[in-house]
Structure 1
Amino acid sequence: MSYEIGYAPRGDRHVRTTSKATAREALKTARALIASDEEIRHIKAPYGGQIGMGELELAAEREDG
């Protein structure tokens, strides 16, 4: 089970995806994508459904204990 991030360059319709095993890794990747001017199209959680950056940040905090 992993977090899936869908992203694309701004204005591009072709969505690429990457998967990360933990919320912490997914958050680091999402932040790097945003910093490189990629647009996050979706984040799917391993427990089902789409989540936003705020929910991903909370999940990463929970992993840290």
Structure 2
Amino acid sequence: MIFLLKLKKIELNTRFILENKKDALVGDYTTWCLHHWLKTWLIEYAMLSLWGKGFWYSFREKE
């Protein structure tokens, strides 16, 4: 009986650790997605703003 209780406790502890690990992995993945999206957005914004400035200056020089 004591052996079965110890096994049940080990099973519950293992399940608790695995569930917390899964939540941690989901959190890491969400953080990575946000970081990747933000980095991509910033690079695209910088490229578009530089391209826009270059286009504007070349347009002004022609006048």
TM over 0.5: no
Higher helix proportion = 2
Instruction: Give the number of the structure whose alpha-carbon radius of gyration is greater.
Output: 2
* TM-score, reference length from structure 1: 0.25
* TM-score, reference length from structure 2: 0.26
Higher strand proportion = 1
Say which structure, 1 or 2, has more relative contact order (CA 8 Å, 6+ apart). Answer: 1
